[in-house]
Structure 1
Amino acid sequence: MIQTGQTLPTANLSELAESGMITHNTDELFANKRVVLFAVPGAFTPTCSEAHLPGYVVLADEIKAAGVDIIACVSVNDAFVMQAWGEAQNANEIMMLADGDASFTKSLGLEMDTAAFGGVRSQRYAMIIDNGVVTQLNVEEAKQFEASKAETILAALK
């Protein structure tokens, strides 16, 4: 599993924007930026839709005011699902990124194989990234939701 102080692996993540499909290379996306990246096991799932993403939507302005350039949500879903979920959640300030083949998640060592979600998914986590380097990594224990909450990350940024 990736550790604090390590550089994020190079990968491609997809985003469906108004202009069409965008493929983001992580090296370029996170270069010279301070980023909060949080991952969910699946879009439109209970904890993800009722608490995880909404927390970041509500606190987006405060998180950005703490010196964050990008707040991004990533999931092992396709870009169409991530875009629809973001719209349904009013996540206008959150970059909704798709890791369709789980290659980014696997390269981080943060994948989990679960029949409940139909195969390989991401563990629930949040990280703070400075210029491509992980400066904080909060991975949730199974069936927990505390370490990766928006409130927890906002406190770490202050």
Structure 2
Amino acid sequence: MVIQIGDTIPEVTLKHIHDGVRVVDTPTLFTGKQVVLFAVPGAFTPTCSEHHLPGFVEHFAAFRKRGIDVICIAVNDPFVMQAWGESVGVPEGLQMVSDGNGDLVKAMGLEMDASAYGMGLRAKRFALYADDGVVKQLFVEAPGEFKVSSAEHVLAHLD
């Protein structure tokens, strides 16, 4: 079942690089915070690298000005997420988090099968806004599209 507005972000553990590989759970990322989480099908893929992540880099200050944390996830390992963030020039504070086994995207019903492209299980392209771990806005892209999960679209639709 796909996560809906009003649902709580499922509790799973994820990984990121900060002085080595670190485990972080979703309550730590979301509890008591306003967060925009966006997911991409794959680090270093064309739309993700040329548009999706760069848009959040460009508008990161606008999110922070509103007191909103920004987290990027992909079904990639934490080393790939770190390298991708460095290659795009992700600012300090924009968190590049690995959902390496797809646990979070599966728990939210936002996974996709990209086996036909040799990529296995991946995240659908989406963005959500959560306040204290509760989904307030949800933007899921139609297959092959990049419109509603962009940083610009999310900013325009924040409460």
TM-score tier (shorter):
over 0.9
Give the TM-score, by structure 1 length: 0.96
Unmatched segments (≥5 aa) in structure 1: none
1:96-135 matches, within 5 Å, as: 96-115=96-115, 116-135=117-136
1:38 aligns with 2:38: yes
RMSD: 1.0
Runs of 4+ more than 3 Å apart: none
Residue 76 (structure 1) aligns with: 75
Residue 21 of structure 1 deviates from its aligned partner by 1.2
Q: Which one-letter code corresponds to 1:55 in the other structure?
A: G
Residue 84 (structure 2) aligns with: 85
Residue 8 (structure 2) aligns with: 7
Residue 20 (structure 1) aligns with: 20
SS in 1 for 2:59: helix
Counting matched residue pairs gives 156
Contact 1:42-1:117 at 8 Å conserved across structures:
no
**Residues in 1 aligned to 2:63 and 2:156: alpha-carbon distance in whole angstroms:** 9
Residue 65 (structure 1) aligns with: 65
Unmatched segments (≥5 aa) in structure 2: none
Residue 67 of structure 1 deviates from its aligned partner by 2.7
Among all aligned residue pairs of Structure 1 and Structure 2, give the percentage whose two residues are the same amino acid.
47
Residue 54 (structure 2) aligns with: 54
